[in-house]
Structure 1
Amino acid sequence: MKDQITHLPDNADRSVAKQKFKITNWPTYNKALINRGSITFWLDDEAIQAWYESATPSSRGRPQRYSDLAITTVLVIKRVFRLTLRAAQGFIDSIFTLMNVPLRCPDYTSVSKRAKSVNVSFKTFTRGEIAHLVIDSTGLKVFGEGEWKVKKTRQRTPSYMAKVASGS
């Protein structure tokens, strides 16, 4: 019979067992777990007014129906939530329906065609969760956890955010 040799990692003698965290306040812990999935959408009145293109075109062809704000908003939501253009269109339409906002999302073909001409700049960090999406007349801003600390301490903390230039 062969001797059984147990193979241990080289750092087996230095490894420390993970300390277990004992939860003492279950109602607060449960609320915190539920709030992880919470997201708030903010839609400014100026953004609602600027959603559709109002300027008459000076060139030939069919006029654009949606403004650059609408196209950039779809592109940012697509990137933030890792959606396809069709899924982003359905997602935004359902948000507008839930908010009782009389807007329609640009169709995915319009977004795809105009994505090349719209100025979209992303500034993203990989950690943190999204807490608030704010759409105003300047574009879309994604606030992550800890984002409020910027105003309080005047220092940027790593969080997941994206800022979109209005393109105008």
Structure 2
Amino acid sequence: MPNKFNAERRHHIPKMRHFVRNWPEYESGLRNRGSLTFWVTPQAMQLWPAQARSTPGGQSIYSNQAIQTSLMLRLVFGQALRQTEGLMRSIFQLLEIDLKAPDHTTLSRRSMTLKALPRQCALPAGPLHLLIDSTGLKLFGAGEWLQEKHGQKSRRSWRKLHLAVDASTGHIEASVLTSQDVDDPSQVGPLLDQIEHKVASVTADGAYDGEPTYERIVQRDTQIDVIIPPRVTAQPSAQFEAAPTTRDNHLLMIQSLGRLEWQEAYGYGKRALVETTMGRFKAIIGPKLRARDPRGQQAEANAAVAVLNRMLSAGRPNSVRTSAAAV
């Protein structure tokens, strides 16, 4: 039941809404996401037969581009491997193209051999402003049901996906899939190692606070701005008075002005964009990994990153905030 005390004197803040300025372009991009020709591109079909050949008495050999395209179609339309095989065959039949679709066993086997997949992201003109965070992905199986019903502890629980997102474009620039017991700060280095572009800043939440994180970023480039809020129990370093570190300066400013002032001064609010990316991942791809083998799970996560980046490249809303009274 709502509280009626001081209702007349209570300050009511109007709900903020967003107005999309480029709606025609954005709407066209949304339609393209469901187009089969958007995913099976002419470039992919050109590379498809270039490396595909049939050995005597053996199976066809497909290019990595063909395997990646099939994996992306599987994730976009939520199909199993056999249904993905049928979908690819029907596309080639409708287009009247003499190409073979990889069967489901080939997709499963080849996905475990793919070392890296193109992330389909366009680099910005200037340096990257990275937003780093992680989320959990469940593994496909009956692990939770077995644990609840019979008290059995399943070996298949969940994986942790670490992402580095560019704040200006929203593209996922780097990703790492680890086991559930791997801590977040230890993956800052592997994420930065995947990025060849110049990095201007790294923003993350308090879970990444600690000198090891700062040291790893400084090893990459001493000019990178580290925007990580210190924990509530954080203490200054030993050389605080003689040579304060970046973390010491953050801690001093928070103690003198407060966390809200610190967040506004350093633009910490943009970190919400990486949480939005996590939500897009689970809404479009799903909260589970279908592959059973860890190598296949890594390939599935990489294909999912390529799917999200291509969707974002098709059309991104240019929205501005406006009050309810102005709509």
Q: What is the TM-score normalised by the length of structure 1? A: 0.50
Structure with the larger strand share: 2
Higher relative contact order (CA 8 A, sep 6+): 2
Structure with higher helix content:
2
